[in-house]
Amino acid sequence: MKPLRLVPRNTKIQFIQYRLIAFALSAALVLGSIGAVFGIGLNFGIDFKGGTLIEVQTDGPADIAQMRSTLNGLGLGDVSLQEFGSDRDVLIRIQRQEGEEAEQIKAIQVVRDALPSDVEFRRTEFVGPTVGQELIEAGILAVSLALLSILVYIWFRFEWQFGVGAIVALSHDIISTLGLFALIQHEFNLATVAAVLTIAGYSINDTVVVYDRVRENLRRYKAMPLSELFTLSINETLSRTTMTSLTTLLALFAIYFFGGAVLADFALAMIWGIVVGTYSSIFIAVPLLLYTGLRRGDDDAGVDESLVPEYERTAGKGK
The strand pairing partners of 121, in sequence order, are: 56
Q: What is the pTM of this model?
A: 0.74
Q: CA-CA distance, 49 to 69, in Å (whole number)?
A: 22
Exposed / middle / buried, residue 168 (Cβ in 10 Å: 0-12, 13-18, 19+): middle
Neighbour-count burial for 248-282, b at 16+ CB within 10 Å, e otherwise: bbeebeebbeeebebbbbbbbbbbbbbebbbbbbb
Nearest to 294 by CA among 242, 241, 233: 233
Tens-digit pLDDT profile for residues 86-113: 778 888 888 877 777 778 788 888 888 8
188 bridge partner residues: 44
The proportion of the chain whose per-residue pLDDT surpasses 90, expressed as a percent, equals 18
> Which pLDDT score is estimated for 3?
61
Residue 307 has a pLDDT of: 40
148 by Cβ neighbours in 10 Å (0-12 / 13-18 / 19+) ranks as: exposed
pLDDT digits (tens, 9 = 90+) for 212-234: 899 888 888 888 888 899 999 99
Mean pLDDT of 246-258: 89
DSSP H or E segment with residue 247: helix 226-258
Other beta carbons within 10 angstroms of residue 317's beta carbon come to 14
Which pLDDT tens digit goes with each residue over 174-184?
Answer: 999 999 999 98
Choice among 7-21, 145-159, 170-184 with the minimum mean pLDDT: 145-159
Band (pLDDT 50/70/90 cuts) for residue 129 is low
**CATH code reported for the domain at 16-41+132-298+307-314:** 1.20.1640.10
* Lowest-pLDDT range of 16-25, 84-93, 198-207: 84-93
DSSP state of 47: H
Predicted pLDDT at 10: 76
Q: What is the mean pLDDT of residues 147-157?
A: 79
pLDDT tens per residue, range 281-318? 999 999 998 888 777 654 444 444 444 444 444 444 44
**What is residue 155's predicted lDDT score, i.e. its pLDDT?**
77
Residue 271 predicted with pLDDT over 50 = yes
Annotated domain spans of the chain: 16-41+132-298+307-314, 51-127
Residue 85: exposed, middle, or buried by beta-carbon count in 10 A (0-12, 13-18, 19+)?
exposed
Query: Would you call 11 helix, strand, or coil by DSSP?
Result: coil
Sign of CA dihedral 160, 178, 255, 262: positive
Mean pLDDT (the chain, rounded) = 81
Average pLDDT on 239-265 reads 85
- Residue with more model confidence, 17 or 140: 17
Q: What are phi and psi of 131, to 5 degrees?
A: -65, -40
CATH of span 51-127: 3.30.70.3400
Q: How far apart are CA 259 and CA 40, in angstroms?
A: 28
